[in-house]
Structure 1
Amino acid sequence: MIARRALAIAGGVVLLALLAWAVNAGLERLAGVEPAAAPRAAEPAAPPPGVPRITATLFYGSADGQALVPVRREVALAEGVVPQGREILAVQLQGAPEPHVPVIPPGTSLRAFYVTDRGDAFVDLSSEISAQHPGGSSTELLTVYAVVNAVLANLPTVRRVQILVEGREADTLAGHVDIRRPLERDMSLVRESP
């Protein structure tokens, strides 16, 4: 009897705590209070001559805009998975070398990059990734997997990638591709350069 009463009291306390949290979160939303924005990640400066570099595989749009094409590019060597991921993404976001076409909207910047102990990477991009996106399901697929494949092709300890927009989870970038969960590599969108 005492155990049931203790269990009922504990359940009530948990329920009240959840209710208080929900009310507080709802009031903040109604009042228009936004959580503090994460500071923007600085664009890495061009390394001076003599700085060690690696060759990374990045992904850009094919000339016809129908597929991703792997392109080997020089990237500054960084110490550790997270700093190296930032370097790789900074080059990926710079734009496409000729004759390839960009699949990431211009002005998109990397706000943050981190990797969990389970090997899930989170790529936090600025709002331009969505606001400046031209739309269309195939273009959106290429945008998402240019980022996902660039991380996974170059950082072997990373298993999956989730894209965030302005520090928040998003359903999609432009209405078509579900990015609510971490994604695995998809090489079906990739074709070699002619």
Structure 2
Amino acid sequence: MKKSRMIWMAALAMLLMAGCGQKAAPAPQPTTPVEQPSGSTPSTTEPKLTKQTITVYYSDNDLMELQKEEQEISFAEDIEKYKKALSMLEKPQKTDDHVPLWKDFHYHSVTFDKGTLTIDADSKNQYNLGSSGEGMAIDALKKTIFQFPEVEQIVILEDGKKAESLMGHVEISEPLTR
């Protein structure tokens, strides 16, 4: 008698556990279509891109003088145009004639406030340009960025801290000005 009672209890427990794993059926959805107001279409607000042709500066093959190249950038916000100009310093279109002075330049952030463009560079950047190459790189940066009339000065930091020099030759502890 105890044995049959135990079998019935086990069977009942198994039925209860089997029922616990099942989900309730979803409520049926109404089948009447919802009307869209006439004349309205779903709008996707894509930012309006501004195109601008800028002059970007590189070195000649002998690192003797700066060469300029016209390139077009597209941007939605002003900060993007500065970032694109910086990235263009790494990529000349005429790779046979122009040497990028900012090749593999990495930065943490670029900000603009009250006429000052601040570039927080990564201190792990490696430069092998010598003193004249460093001077040309700074000149290329200034000529490229100062074509935007709202930029009055450029501050270069390294890892968020004031930098003395990028390569050890040209002092950049003070803001670069026009």
TM over 0.5: yes
1:108 and 1:127 in contact (8 A); partners too? no
Partner of 2:132: 138
Which structure's relative contact order is higher, taking Cα pairs within 8 Å and 6+ residues apart? 1
Partner of 1:92: 89
SS at match of 1:137: helix
Change (3 A) 1:174 1:68: same
Change (3 A) 1:178 1:67: same
Q: RMSD of aligned C-alpha atoms?
A: 2.2
Partner of 2:117: 121
- CA shift digits 1:106-160 (9 cap, x unpaired): 322232111222x12111222344xx2114210110112222221111x111111
Where does structure 2 lack aligned partners over 5 or more consecutive residues?
1-48
- CA shift digits 1:21-78 (9 cap, x unpaired): xxxxxxxxxxxxxxxxxxxxxxxxxxxxxx6532111110122211211211111133
Specify the structure having the higher radius of gyration (Cα).
2
Partners of 1:72 and 1:95 in 2: how far apart? 10
Partners of 1:175 and 1:96 in 2: how far apart? 29
SS at match of 2:83: helix
Question: Which structure is higher in strand share?
Answer: 2
SS at match of 1:93: coil
Letter in 1 for 2:123: S
2:123 and 2:159 in contact (8 A); partners too? yes
2:123 and 2:158 in contact (8 A); partners too? yes
SS at match of 1:143: helix
Change (3 A) 1:88 1:78: farther
Partner of 1:172: 165
Structure 2 length-normalised TM: 0.64
Letter in 1 for 2:176: L
Identity among equivalent positions (%) equals: 27
Change (3 A) 1:92 1:142: same
